[in-house]
């Protein structure tokens, strides 16, 4: 799916940009690293409770709130590890790109490196290549 289409879907929710950070594949897509199939956002506690009340929680290991192609995540998600970043630190690590708050690649890389899934391993490699090319 095109990132622009996903961002329009996000815009329709009219969420306060200081209470979420776009993470995972969309954070890679905006930098041209790889495409995104959906949009994962890590949200503040306050926003998570508001969204949970309105849309309900999908029970899985990480309790996402699924709104169309958007997954709102909070403290039980795989994007939180106290050794890498607390929920507050993840929100604060954001980089504004084209008017949207995205997870920094440094924090995203650390979180992906903890993952055992093949796509996480592949993403770490892609992030490393991107950072090596763009740090010059």
Chosen CATH of 3-124 out of 3.40.50.1820, 3.60.10.10, 3.40.640.10, 3.30.460.40: 3.30.460.40
Segment 109-121 shows an average pLDDT of: 87
How far, in Å, CA of 111 to CA of 105, rounded?
10
Largest separation between any pair of C-alpha atoms in the chain: 46
What distance in Å separates the CA atoms of residue 26 and residue 79, rounded to the nearest whole number?
A: 14
Residue carrying the six token digits 């776009």: 22
What's the whole-number average pLDDT of the chain? 89
Q: Which pTM does this prediction carry? A: 0.89
Model confidence pLDDT, tens digit, residues 89-100: 888 889 999 999
Domain boundaries, the chain: 3-124
What pLDDT is recorded for position 70? 95
Q: Between the CA of residue 95 and those of 17, 24, 39, 77, what are the distances in Å?
A: 11, 14, 16, 20
The arithmetic mean of pLDDT across residues 108-128, rounded, is 90
């Amino acid at each position: 799916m095109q990132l622009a289409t996903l961002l329009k879907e996000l815009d329709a929710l009219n969420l306060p940009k200081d209470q979420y950070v776009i993470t995972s594949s969309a954070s890679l897509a905006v930098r041209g690293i790889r495409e995104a199939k959906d949009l994962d956002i890590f949200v503040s506690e306050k926003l998570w409770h508001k969204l949970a009340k309105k849309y309900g929680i999908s029970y899985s290991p990480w309790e996402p709130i699924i709104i169309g192609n958007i997954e709102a995540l909070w403290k039980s998600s795989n994007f939180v590890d106290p050794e890498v970043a607390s929920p507050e630190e993840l929100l604060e690590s954001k980089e504004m790109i084209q008017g949207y708050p995205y997870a920094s690649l440094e924090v995203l890389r650390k979180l992906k490196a903890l993952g055992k899934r093949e796509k996480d391993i592949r993403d770490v490699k892609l992030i490393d290549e991107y950072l090596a090319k763009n740090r010059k």
